Amino acid sequence: MTSLRTLKSLEILLESFLDRALAQKEERFTVLDGINRLDDITRATHNGDDTAEPVGNWLAEHNRWLAEDRLKPGDIDRISNMLGKISRTLESGDGSTAQTDKIGSEIEDWQKVARTVRPKLTLKRRPESAGDSSSDSIALFDNTLERLSGLFRDLSHSKQHLLSVLDGALESARLQKSTDALLLSAFMIYYLKQGGYKVEPYVKRLKEAEKLLKEAKRDA
């Protein structure tokens, strides 16, 4: 009986720990819920389902996210990529309707706002001091690697070859003026070059995307 009581106390303790751990992440959970729903909609769109209404509802429900500063840079990239895919699929569908045109326009608005709210990373080196630490630059690079890894997962989904992923990354860098997509493209190009691939056409596209990105930053 004593061990039963002890186990029941432990059961209550563990359930309480899990409840509190989740409660702390409530806001993040809401964001993940929204991203997961958009992911389902993106897949359904890709499968040919009529998703104009769910996309419209999703945008109506979540368009305040950008203004409320609730999203991490990686979230913004993911959502923008998914909305971009939906937009391209809707555009390539049989004839446009007033509803699909409206959705396309709303997605475009989201992409525009997303570009403006993305935090700009400006690395300025402070005057060196004896106790200067490089941990900030290491953390920034670490965060970038994590975002690039997520972006790579998004872009490589259902692709058969790394060259196709590179093609997608370069398109994303060019159309969305995404620094992350540009960095990921450069990384893949160097990787492929080491493997003996002819990468000159991709280097050319990378330079074009880089130029567009610089222009966009200058105009911002």
Partner 1 sequence: MLSSGEKACFRALQALRDKEYRSAADQFDKAAIDFRGNEEMNLLRETTRLLMAVKSEIRKLEKDDAIEIEEVFSDG
Shortest Cβ distance from residue 33 to partner 1 (Å)? 8
Is the distance from CB of 75 to CB of 82 less than 8 angstroms? no
Stretch that binds partner 1, among 65-73, 77-85, 90-98, 113-121 (CB under 8 A): 77-85
Spatial separation of the C-alpha atoms in residues 159 and 212, rounded to whole Å:
26
Residue identified by tokens 């050319």 is 204
Shortest Cβ distance from residue 4 to partner 1 (Å)? 5
Q: Which of 20, 22, 30, 57 binds partner 1 (CB under 8 A)?
A: 22
Q: Which of 82, 151, 170, 206 binds partner 1 (CB under 8 A)?
A: 82
Q: How many CB atoms lie within 10 A of CB 75?
A: 19
Phi first, then psi, for residue 125 (nearest 5°) are: -85, 125
Stretch that binds partner 1, among 5-13, 50-58, 100-108, 192-200 (CB under 8 A): 5-13
Shortest Cβ distance from residue 16 to partner 1 (Å)? 11
Q: Which of 30, 36, 177, 201 binds partner 1 (CB under 8 A)?
A: 36
Buried b (16+ CB within 10 A) or exposed e, 96-105: eeeebeebbe
